[in-house]
Amino acid sequence: MSATPDTARTTTAPVVSVEGLRKTFGRGRKESVAVDGIGFELRTGGSLGIVGESGSGKTTTARMLIGLEQPTAGRILIGGADHTRPARRIKDLRARGRLIQIVFQDPYTSLDRRQKIGDCLGEVVHLHFGLTGAALKTRVRDLGELVGLHERQLESLPRELSGGQRQRVAIARALAAEPEILILDEAVSALDVSIQAQILNLLADIREQRGISYVFISHDLAVIRQITDTVIVMRHGQVIEQGQTADVLDNPHDPYTRLLRDSVPHPGWQPGITTPQNPHTPITENMP
């Protein structure tokens, strides 16, 4: 990783600033609004959670941030520079890769089945930093170490690893570009609870050591509470509540956030029975 000291990045200035961001798909009568004029900030070295039910616009927001989707309207500033339009030239794509990376839920589909893990990481390091030979090998070993992958696993093919190990590969591959911002889109959702806890601890350590900023998309509010310091709640493409994570989750002002929070199963919860202790079944059954 870069030698940038933690303090250099850990300021209160926003590293990401989003204004009036909107994305529609389709045209005319078939037009649908996925993201409807949202705004938020991620401070440098901070961790921002995005929560909301399925279809609320979380992934579309992430895809616009990373440049995989062009916004219909609005503005995305990253490190003060305008990143509203996806990069087109290779040089700009690479520069963006050094700034922001994303990890999706299922890394298996994005890994080359015939490529050893070490080679996969080496490719990214070579692409961004031009390292070769022993220097490249050392860097790959360091990356593996950072995420808890050993030499033997670096020599493996993706199918020889567990889901948790593959997710570590995906994180290492994203970190190989030494980005300032890492987006994790349901990146731990498919993992069992103990592996999930290991990865969350790992991410917290990396953030502390490197001063990297996170955008963390998850439907799991316990995960959001653990890994983020601010949160936005999305519904129907809009931000309906935002603030410090603990404040929003402990004292939600919006009924939808309350509903979202109370949907987390707890002792005494029974599916299908609505009582004050067991407030609801489908999450937005009573919402407009």
Stated length of the chain:
288
Q: What are phi and psi of 141, to 5 degrees?
A: -60, -40
CB nearer ligand ATP, residue 64 or residue 124 = 64
- Least Å distance, CB 54 to ligand ATP, is 3
Query: In the complex with ligand ATP, which residue's Cβ is closer, 117 or 256?
Result: 256
Residues near ligand ATP, by CB under 6 A: 25, 32, 34, 52, 54-60
Q: How far apart are CB 57 and ligand ATP at their closest, in Å?
A: 5
Q: Which is nearer to ligand ATP, 24 or 115 (CB)?
A: 24
* Closest approach of ligand ATP to the CB of residue 69, in Å: 8
| Closest approach of ligand ATP to the CB of residue 156, in Å | 30
CB 70 within 8 A of CB 50: no
Distance CA 53, CA 85 (A): 27
For 180, counting Cβ atoms within 10 Å of its Cβ (0-12 exposed, 13-18 middle, 19+ buried), the class is: buried
Between residues 55 and 79, which has the closer beta carbon with respect to ligand ATP? 55
Closest CA to 58 of 40, 85, 81, 44: 40
Q: Which H helix or E strand runs over 254? A: none
| Alpha-carbon gap, residue 57 to 69, rounded angstroms | 12
- Minimum distance, C-beta of residue 221 to ligand ATP, in the bound complex (Å): 14
Nearer residue to ligand ATP within complex by CB, 139 or 236: 236
